[in-house]
Amino acid sequence: MGTSITKRDGRIVDFDKTKIQNAILKAFKEVDGEVSEFAIEKAANIANYIEGESHNKNLSIEEIQDMVENGLMRTKRKDVAKAYILYRNRRSMARGNIIDNEVFRLIDNKDEYWKRENSNKDSMLVTTQRDYLAGILSTDVSKRLLLPPQVVEYHTKGAIHFHDIDYFLQKALHNCDLINLEDMLMNGTVINGVMVESPHRFSTACTIATQIILGVSSSQYGGCTVSLTHLAPFVRKSYEKFLRKYLDRGFDIDEAAKWAKEDTKIDVADGVQTFNYQVNSMTNTNGQAPFLSVFMYLNETDEYKDELAMIIEEFLKQRIQGLKNEQGVYITQSFPKLLYVLEEDNITEDSKYWYLTELAAKCTAKRQVPDYISEYQMFKLKGDCYPCINKTCA
């Protein structure tokens, strides 16, 4: 094992005392205008001393520079020590300008790294640039102060990738969430200090759900997942609301039920459309649309299975259609990712919900979603079937 130096960018290099000598000689030349025999002798002595003190150790650049300062201060040339300290400070300021330069390259959209850092982010948008400005600072501090030198070295070389280093500085943040919509929709929640009460129809529940998703995704990094099962009770609430409307108008129960079902279908379509519009048009504090997956699992509920099937059907239909881009052309939207569970009720042609699997297959053929989860295999491997985080890149 030899003496090594950890650079400020995390790279580990071999100790080279000639660099120490050259730095000391520059300080002497700045003061005296020339390099004397005395300067050469002192530079060699200090470099040799530091080499001996650091034998078989790993030191940082700052530690080496502290030893140089101390060595010069022990000589009679305090003026040279002062020159070295001032030089060191100027170099420190210049390194700070490295961050400044990176910031201006980002703002001017000339930094190729930040252009490519995340395919879901447009580096020209103000919201994205704000996130990346914080990311530049976090990356710098993480490399210099927070991460082990070897991790930084391997990350810099590309041997490993330390994920989300641009968020690592903020230790309060966490990576990925399974959002408990059921609790917040059924019992109400608080957003920005405002009490949001439990909704009375499906379309309203969809709007509140997207507001919750935006809030959660802005307080984390990575993806998040919601279960459509948590929205299913509000389909029934919509039906009951419409049924009361028609009964109050004097319709008999059969007619009232007929028109209530029609209105409920419209409400489900409107709610899913709102959900898709909101998720793809909102921007969280990370400078992007929420990286969201929705979980479609019929066996997650017994009481609201038919209502859940209606929601799943509408999500698949609207995904097949796509969303219009700025030219008015239907395209494949990035979010939400769709997670469709294959289970006993939808995997054979005589299954009650086989039509959903057929619809999912059509959606896959056109839009390359949903992703499929085997209930049988997940129970076999995990002992249960539950929502998961889908990290597939859009």
Sign of CA dihedral 344, 348, 354, 359: positive
The tokens describing 205, both together, are 């529940």
In a domain, 55, yes or no: yes
For residue 163, the SS3 value is coil
The Cα–Cα gap between 67 and 47 comes to: 9
Contact 205, 229 (CB under 8 A): no
If asked whether residues 237 and 157 sit together in one domain, one would say no
CATH number of the domain within which 324 lies: 3.20.70.20
d(CA 286, CA 133): 11
The string of DSSP letters for 82-128 reads HHHHHHHHHHHHHHHHHHHHHHHHHHTT--HHHHHS-TT--TTSHHH
Please tell me the distance from the alpha carbon of residue 121 to that of residue 175, in angstroms, as a whole number: 18
Average pLDDT over all residues of the chain: 89
For residue 304, being part of any structural domain is answered with: yes
Neighbouring CB atoms inside 10 A of 8's CB total 15
Pair (141, 264) in one structural domain: no
Q: In terms of domains, do 258 and 162 share one?
A: no
Last residue of a domain, one of 167, 189, 216: 167
What's 169's DSSP letter? T
Could you tell me which of 131, 134, 137 has the C-alpha nearest to residue 287?
131
Q: Give me the helix-helix angle, 17-32 and 78-107, nearest 10°.
A: 110
Domain coverage including residue 157? 109-167
Give the pairing of strands 189-191 and 194-196. Answer: antiparallel
Residues 52 and 158 in one domain: no
pLDDT at 127: 79
Same structural domain for residues 359 and 267?
yes
Check residue 98 and give its pLDDT. Answer: 64
- 219 and 319 both lie in a single domain: yes
Residue 167 exposed, middle or buried by CB count within 10 Å (0-12, 13-18, 19+): buried
- Total of domains in the chain: 3
pLDDT tens digits for 265-316? 999 999 999 999 999 999 887 778 888 999 999 999 999 999 999 999 999 9
Domain final position from 91, 124, 150: 91
Whether 119 and 210 share a structural domain:
no
Residue 151 sits in the same domain as residue 245: no
Whether residue 162 sits in one domain with residue 206: no
Q: What is the mean pLDDT of each run of 10 residues along the chain (394 residues)?
A: 73 88 91 92 91 85 88 91 84 67 81 72 80 85 86 83 85 82 96 94 98 91 92 98 97 97 98 97 83 96 97 98 95 94 95 97 97 96 87 44
Residue 100 falls within a domain, yes or no?
no
Reference 272, options 340, 198, 210; nearest CA is 210
Q: Is residue 339 part of a domain?
A: yes
Q: Write down the pLDDT at residue 394.
A: 36
Among residues 150, 167, 184, the one where a domain terminates is 167
The pLDDT of residue 107 is 84
Cβ 368 vs Cβ 320: under 8 Å: no
Residue of 276, 275, 236 lying closest to 257 (CA atoms): 236
- If asked whether residues 162 and 235 sit together in one domain, one would say no
- Note the pLDDT tens digit of each residue in 205-244: 999 999 999 999 988 888 899 999 999 999 999 999 999 9
Residues 80 and 116 in one domain: no
